[in-house]
Amino acid sequence: MKILKNMNPTNMKLRFFIIAYWHDPRFKKKVGGLIRMFELADNLKQMGRHVTLILPKIGYPKKQTVADVIEIPFIDLPIIRPLSFHLISSLYLLKTLSNADFIYVRQLNSFLPLMISKLCNIPSFFEIPNDPYIAYQSGSKMRRFFERTMDKLSMALSNKIVVLSEWSKKRLNQLGGVPLSKIVVLPSGTDTDLFRPLEKDACCQKVGLDPSFYYIGFVGTFFVHQGIDVLIDAAPLILEKFPNVRFLLVGDGPMMNSWTDKVNQKGLQDVFIFTGQVPYKKVPEYIGTMDICVAPHFKDSNQASPVKIFDYMACGRPIVASDIEVVREIVGDSRCALLVYPGYADDLARGIILLLQGETKRMEMAKKGREWVKVNFDRKKLAEKLILKIQNQEPYRIP
């Protein structure tokens, strides 16, 4: 194994290979996708490291990072699509790995990059961005067996396993038997330069909203576990007290049609605004229109990576969120969020109404959230923590 320990992290000229796979037909002709990987690459590059991203040829990745990008072609057919990417990317890796000091692999249902790094004595980290034990419960028996086997081999071959929360670390240890010493926590965090407090009136003007309304907002991918069904159920209770409220849902995903249908069935189409997918760099303007941001996750949701919480805090917005372990872990004792019991519309409504009634309280929460995320979850600082982790220094811990 290459010796990286005891080097000064500010002087290390590490050459990184970051390998990830994703496929989303929504982004075939526009940018999008692995934002966190792009920002990790950018931050490492700005720290003086040489970074090469190996990604599928989709979503114009070269336009989303200052790092070098190798776009891997693939055969765009089900099943063959990931297999062709894994084969071609592995061949490229074999050819160029002598140029790498370190490999960072995002979970991709292939152990080949980590096996190659092991054979070539290149240190590697394997990131599991979401809880695999929830994923293993869906799909066919054969698919579950395949995914579990790929992850198990990848974890065994890697030097360290990266997860995004202490909650995920405990799950990996308790359910997977992975030693705690092999698991490191690197929270998703946010770009606190891009996501910053903005004036509501100016943001409303930019995105075409009436600033006279209160906006209760959500940003994220429309998955069932996000709990927007609960927000829709809570809406009439909120409107009884504050008829000048509007609900702003920013994003897209599998639940879009289901949620819009539910809104229409309840006669709430005039108070719910679905923006669809918006460019990443425009998201702070939409958050800037929001008086309160929500994250009403279900209790049994995938708790590994609620990125929206970091973005809300960075934009200086008060939060009402489900009281689940990973959210408590993120907000700590910052007092920037009001936590409510997950899955209960009346509890969510009470929390939102309480904050709507107190402007001073909202302003205090907003300020505390911004301060907390800048200190603990800025992605530039997290990239520095990664360098320290590579050297086997004291692991980073959430306050």
pLDDT computed for residue 131 by the predictor: 83
Report which residue type is found at 97. L
pLDDT computed for residue 28 by the predictor: 76
Query: What values do phi and psi take at 75, rounded to 5?
Result: -90, 115
The pair of three-digit structure tokens given for residue 275, joined into one six-digit string: 């923006």
Give the number of residues written for the chain. Answer: 399
| Other Cβ atoms within 10 Å of 85 Cβ, number | 24
pLDDT, one tens digit per residue, over 281-318 is 999 999 999 999 999 998 876 555 678 999 999 999 99
Q: Write out the DSSP string of 295-354.
A: E---TTS--S--HHHHHHHHTT--EEEE--HHHHHHHTT---EEEE-TT-HHHHHHHHHH
pLDDT, one tens digit per residue, over 17-27 is 999 998 877 77
Q: Enter the DSSP assignment of 248.
A: E
Q: Minimal CA–CA distance to 76: which of 32, 113, 23? A: 23
pLDDT computed for residue 397 by the predictor: 43
Exposure pattern of 193-219 as b/e (b: 16+ CB <10 Å)? eebebbebeebbeebebeeebbbbbbb
Give dist(CA 114, CA 27) in Å, integer: 28
pLDDT computed for residue 31 by the predictor: 75
Give dist(CA 247, CA 218) in Å, integer: 8
Q: Enter the DSSP assignment of 395.
A: P
The pair of three-digit structure tokens given for residue 82, joined into one six-digit string: 């990931």
Q: Distances from the Cα of 20 to the Cαs of 17, 38, 71, 82, 185, in angstroms? A: 10, 10, 11, 11, 19
Low-confidence ranges of the chain (pLDDT < 50): 1-11, 393-399
> 308 burial class (0-12, 13-18, 19+ CB within 10 angstroms)?
buried
The pair of three-digit structure tokens given for residue 298, joined into one six-digit string: 């279900």
CB 185 within 8 A of CB 330: no
pLDDT computed for residue 392 by the predictor: 62
CB 16 within 8 A of CB 49: yes
| E strand spans, the chain | 15-19, 50-56, 68-72, 102-106, 124-127, 160-163, 183-185, 214-219, 245-250, 272-276, 292-295, 319-322, 337-340
Rounded to the nearest 5 degrees, what angle is found at the Cα of 184, between the Cα atoms of 159 and 300?
A: 120
Give dist(CA 64, CA 77) in Å, integer: 25
CB 160 within 8 A of CB 171: no
| Other Cβ atoms within 10 Å of 66 Cβ, number | 13
Q: What phi-psi label fits residue 333: left (phi over 0), alpha (psi between -120 and 50 degrees) or beta? A: alpha
Give dist(CA 308, CA 190) in Å, integer: 9
In a 3-state reduction of DSSP, which class is residue 131?
coil
